[in-house]
Amino acid sequence: MGRSPCCEKAHTNKGAWTKEEDQRLISYIRAHGEGCWRSLPKAAGLLRCGKSCRLRWINYLRPDLKRGNFSDEEDEIIIKLHSLLGNKWSLIAGRLPGRTDNEIKNYWNTHIKRKLISSGIDPQTHRPLNSTATAAAAAVSSTCLDFRKSAPVNEPVENIVYKSVADNSSSNDDTKCNSSTTEESQPPPRPPLKEEEASADAVDLELSIGLFPSRSSYRSDSFKLSSAESKAFFDFLRPPAAVMTKAMCLCWQLGFQKGQSCSNCQSYGLDRPR
């Protein structure tokens, strides 16, 4: 038993939208706001599926959309977020105001992917395509986010401790991404955090992906973040307030379970991160 179709396909238009259809949709949403997409087409006098209306509005007609080429800074953010989140286009879009998930997905597939490959970087793993590509390795390292960089020297260490996932990794004091490793392309699933571990005051982040320092470096007790660093870290995870939804906080990526709240979610009153 599958889902029933979202609309009566026999009586709906498909394909490119006409100016008149666009105008109807814009007028309706201006007058009534975004609401029930299923009933919107009929109410707006459109022979379109509700899903199609939603897509058209979100990806093309919304007034806050940023048009034009992606900046170098946006490129960099997309690459960094992709190395952290993978193909979670909506989450990435949540951190690029005015850009849509569809736009970013298309841009990734047509530009960034190619750019990374031509630099010798695997766009899925963000690691060099071959181990001898030193220039590529350097390029990957440059996509690392280092939250420790801007921290005051004498800041007390607290809040966040990066912990190694794989204890059998070799010791290494550098803080670069794990770009030169030959490990599997996908990080292993992270075990859920215990409730006390997941509290906002003592977050134990088990990160195992290239965006952050190598496993071998953050296994050390010396790899701890100061309060300023942890603030920078959570600021990075936090999308603009205007677009923040339950699903957008990244704490679930870090092992938080349903019903737990990280400090981001608490600050937005979101008590049930996905």
- Write the binding mask 252 to 271 for DNA: x where contact by CB under 7 A, - elsewhere: ------x-------------
Among positions 88, 115, 190, 231, the unique one binding DNA when judged by CB under 7 A = 88
Q: Which stretch binds DNA (CB under 7 A): 9-17, 140-148, 170-178, 219-227?
A: 9-17
Beta partners for 204? 161
Does the footprint of DNA cover residue 19 (CB under 7 A)?
Answer: no
Helix (H) or strand (E) holding 92: helix 89-93
Q: How far is the CB of 3 from DNA (least distance, A)?
A: 5
Answer for the pair 74, 99: CB distance below 8 angstroms, yes or no.
yes
Residues in the chain: 274
Return the amino acid letter for 186.
Q
Residue selected from 23, 27, 71, 87 as contacting DNA according to rule CB under 7 A: 87
Closest approach, Cβ 205 to DNA, in A, equals 21
Residues 55-84 contacting DNA, CB under 7 A: 55-56, 59-60
Nearest residue to 56 (alpha-carbon basis) of 68, 40, 69: 40
Tokens 């666009």, located at residue: 22
| Rounded distance between C-alpha atoms, residue 10 and residue 19, angstroms | 22
Query: First CA to last CA across the chain, in angstroms?
Result: 26
What is the binding site for DNA (CB under 7 A)?
1-4, 6, 9, 13-17, 35-38, 48-52, 54-56, 59-60, 87-91, 101-103, 105-107, 109-111, 114, 246-247, 258, 272, 274
